DNA sequence: TCTGGGGTCCTAGGACCC
DNA sequence: TCTGGGGTCCTAGGACCC
């Protein structure tokens, strides 16, 4: 049976959310800004037409805002998350299975549906009526083709586009699309394809998969195969357990004062602990990092990180906050006297299921790991008076001593040599 | 002056063991 | 002092996504 995958994409999602509560925003050029109102993260179609590009810093469009040509809004992620959940729930019943791919997109499996177009027109109408969010729907035999179809759908009155089955009709559609539209083809990929004189999606689909495999491995190969209608990416139902959890922010200005850094880092650690607990995850290690303003010519890529390994995986707020706080104080010292920080973050890694941990805590594996790690921690603190571990690989600004060696959280044997340098 | 945040997957090659 | 290869695990970093 021919696979039929639909990709439902909310149009200008953040802008559409804001428009629900502010009718004056309808038919206007509207953008939503990132944290600290730093740059543009969503644009209405009127704003795209001007054009306002995705990701441009706010100061570059300030004139447009001041002259009333564009309305700029701060973001409200709580609202967007709530509306997203309603959209996804509404759509779930229209396919035999659903993969929520991002805050504003999901895939539905329509295989076996005799009238997929009608089904999706009904789905869009329901989302618009019940939640108030406009959507576009693309349908195709693979995820990659469905995504391309949804781009075409944005320009159609019905808001639904079905990719033709492989053959001349499909070739005609793909021949009109630039290769940059393809899911998985980013800037680096595009640069190579240009040198191969690959311009349209059709050009790419006609490349021998083996050639892509040699240059880009399985990732590139899958892109080509999916364009030919061969499914390489299956639907993933239900949220997969997280591999890492990040909480990070840019500051509105550079921060040099330790109390400010500690306050920020503690709140990141608290939030990370909450995220971990809500997903039933526990961290085997936590990294804290600081970085300087990457746009300043005198301090490119300057920053550092420390990683702390827990004897037993944890998601307790005090444990995470304490570990992060100790590392931030140390990072601040390492950055003295000129350290000025624009961004900081906390990363939970080595995540495990915290319900399984409860039962395996007394199991052999966990006990062996706990014993091994605590021995190494004891040794480290005896010799160096600290248990914070250096893993910074970019402590390279002119006033900082580069850190030699690396630390891998699982490799207890190497910790000591890293600590000696740090 | 002002430039987001949160993820995933893949690979080369090092580390380690036998 | 000189000598080997296979298998597996692990990490950093690149590339991409929204």
Give strand B nucleotides closer than 7 A to any protein Cβ. 1-12, 15-16
SS3 A343: strand
Q: Tell me: pLDDT of A148 over 90.
A: yes
Q: Residue A191, CA: closest nucleotide via C1'?
A: C15
CA of A92 to C1' of B14 (A): 46
Helices (H), A43-156: 45-49, 58-66, 77-92, 116-130, 143-153
Q: Tell me: pLDDT of A367 over 60.
A: no
What length does chain A have? Answer: 422
pLDDT for the residue A299? 58
Strand B within 7 A of A362 CB: no
- When comparing pLDDT for A336 and A72, which is higher? A72
Q: How far apart are the C-alpha atoms of A73 and A17, rounded to whole Å?
A: 11
pLDDT for the residue A205? 97
Give strand C nucleotides closer than 7 A to any protein Cβ. 10-18
Strand B within 7 A of A209 CB: no
pLDDT for the residue A370? 52
Those residues with Cβ within 8 angstroms of residue A347's Cβ, 6 or more apart along the chain or in another chain: A244, A245, A246, A248, A286, A287, A288, A289
pLDDT for the residue A356? 65
pLDDT for the residue A409? 35
pLDDT for the residue A248? 95
Strand B within 7 A of A218 CB: yes
CA of A385 to C1' of C16 (A): 41
Please report residues contacting nucleic strand C, using a CB cutoff of 7 A.
Answer: A 101-105, 147, 182-190, 391, 393, 406-411
What is the rounded average pLDDT of the residues A292-307?
A: 73
Q: Tell me: pLDDT of A404 over 50.
A: no
Q: Residue A38, CA: closest nucleotide via C1'?
A: B3
pLDDT for the residue A309? 74
| Phi, psi of A248, deg, nearest 5 | -150, 155
CA of A67 to C1' of B8 (A): 41
CA of A405 to C1' of C4 (A): 28
pLDDT for the residue A114? 97
Q: Residue A103, CA: closest nucleotide via C1'?
A: C18
Q: Which two tokens stand for residue A305?
A: 């990180």
pLDDT for the residue A78? 94
- Average pLDDT over chain A, rounded to an integer: 84
Q: Tell me: pLDDT of A373 over 80.
A: no
Q: A199-208, A308-317, A329-338: which has the highest mean pLDDT?
A: A199-208
What is the rounded average pLDDT of the residues A219-236?
A: 93
Q: Residue A345, CA: closest nucleotide via C1'?
A: B5
Q: Residue A186, CA: closest nucleotide via C1'?
A: C16
- Token pair 């290769």: residue: A179
Helix (H) or strand (E) holding A349: strand A341-353
What is the rounded average pLDDT of the residues A68-82?
A: 96
CA of A368 to C1' of B17 (A): 19
Q: Which residue is nearest to nucleotide B16 (CA to C1')?
A: A411
pLDDT for the residue A100? 95
Digit-coded pLDDT (tens) for A250-290: 999 999 999 999 999 999 999 999 999 999 998 888 888 88
Strand B within 7 A of A404 CB: no
Q: Tell me: pLDDT of A142 over 50.
A: yes
Digit-coded pLDDT (tens) for A338-353: 788 899 999 998 888 8
Cis amide bond preceding A326, omega within 30:
no
Helix (H) or strand (E) holding A353: strand A341-353
Share of chain A above pLDDT 70, in %: 83
Q: How far is CA A416 from CA A165, A324, A391, A394, A407, in A?
A: 60, 20, 12, 19, 9
pLDDT for the residue A197? 95
Q: Which two tokens stand for residue A221?
A: 């190969």
**Nearest CA to A32 among A66, A68, A67, A80?**
A80
Query: Residue A298's pLDDT band (boundaries 50, 70, 90)?
Result: low
pLDDT for the residue A138? 98
Q: Tell me: pLDDT of A401 over 50.
A: no
pLDDT for the residue A311? 72
Query: Residue A107's pLDDT band (boundaries 50, 70, 90)?
Result: very high
CA of A410 to C1' of B18 (A): 21
What is the rounded average pLDDT of the residues A197-217?
A: 92
CA of A198 to C1' of C9 (A): 39
Query: Strands A105-109 and A5-10: what pairing?
Result: antiparallel
What is the rounded average pLDDT of the residues A7-31?
A: 97
Q: Tell me: pLDDT of A368 over 70.
A: no
**A421 contacts A405 by C-beta, under 8 angstroms:** yes
CA torsion through residues A47, A51, A57, A58, sign? negative
Q: How far apart are the C-alpha atoms of A27 and A21, rounded to whole Å?
A: 14
Query: Residue A222's pLDDT band (boundaries 50, 70, 90)?
Result: very high
| Phi, psi of A80, deg, nearest 5 | -65, -40
What is the rounded average pLDDT of the residues A312-321?
A: 90
**Nearest CA to A14 among A60, A68, A77?**
A77
pLDDT for the residue A372? 52
Strand B within 7 A of A410 CB: no
Strand B within 7 A of A35 CB: yes
Classify residue A370 by burial, with Cβ atoms within 10 Å: 0-12, 13-18, 19+.
middle
Q: Residue A272, CA: closest nucleotide via C1'?
A: B6
pLDDT for the residue A366? 47
CA A300 to centroid of chain Cα atoms: 23
- End-to-end Cα separation, chain A, in angstroms: 60
Q: Tell me: pLDDT of A26 over 80.
A: yes
Q: Please give the angle made by the CA atoms of A214, A215 and A216, to the nearest 5 degrees.
A: 100
CA of A215 to C1' of B10 (A): 13
CA of A379 to C1' of B16 (A): 22
């Amino acid at each position: 049976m021919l696979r039929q995958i639909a990709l439902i994409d909310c149009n200008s999602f953040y802008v559409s959310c804001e428009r629900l509560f502010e009718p004056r925003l309808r038919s206007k050029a509207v953008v939503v800004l990132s944290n600290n109102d730093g740059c543009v993260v969503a644009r209405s179609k009127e704003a795209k037409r001007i054009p306002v590009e995705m990701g441009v810093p706010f100061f570059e469009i300030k004139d447009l805002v001041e002259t009333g040509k564009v309305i700029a809004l701060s973001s409200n992620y709580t609202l967007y998350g709530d509306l997203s959940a309603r959209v996804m729930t509404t759509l779930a019943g229209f396919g035999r299975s659903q993969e929520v791919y991002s805050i504003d997109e999901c895939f539905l499996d329509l295989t076996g549906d005799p009238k997929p177009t009608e089904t999706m027109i009904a789905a869009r109408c329901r989302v618009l009526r019940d939640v108030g969010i406009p959507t576009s729907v693309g349908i195709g035999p693979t995820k990659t083709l469905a995504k391309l179809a949804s781009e075409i759908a944005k320009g159609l009155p019905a808001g639904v586009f079905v990719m033709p089955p492989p053959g001349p009709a499909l070739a005609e559609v793909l021949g009109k699309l630039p290769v940059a539209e393809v899911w998985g083809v980013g800037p680096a990929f595009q640069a190579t394809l240009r040198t191969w004189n690959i311009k349209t999606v059709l050009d790419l689909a006609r490349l021998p998969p083996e050639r892509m495999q040699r240059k880009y491995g399985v990732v590139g190969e899958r892109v080509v195969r999916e364009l030919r209608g061969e499914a390489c990416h299956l639907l993933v139902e239900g949220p997969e357990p997280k591999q890492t959890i990040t909480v990070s922010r840019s500051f509105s200005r550079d921060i040099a004062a330790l109390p400010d850094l500690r306050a920020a880092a503690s709140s990141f650690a608290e939030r990370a602990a909450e995220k971990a607990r809500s997903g039933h995850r526990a961290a085997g290690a936590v990294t804290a990092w600081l970085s300087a303003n990457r746009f300043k010519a005198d301090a490119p890529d300057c920053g550092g990180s420390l990683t702390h390994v827990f004897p037993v995986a944890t998601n307790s707020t005090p444990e995470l906050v304490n570990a992060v706080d100790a590392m931030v104080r140390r990072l601040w010292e390492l950055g003295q006297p000129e350290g000025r920080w624009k961004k900081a973050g906390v990363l939970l890694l080595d995540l495990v299921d915290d319900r399984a941990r409860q039962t395996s805590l007394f199991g052999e594996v966990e006990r062996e790991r706990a014993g091994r790690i605590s021995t190494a921690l004891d040794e480290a603190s005896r010799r160096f008076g600290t248990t914070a571990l250096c893993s910074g690989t970019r402590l390279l600004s002119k006033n900082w001593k580069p850190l030699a060696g690396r630390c891998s959280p699982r490799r207890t044997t190497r910790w000591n040599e890293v600590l000696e340098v740090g």
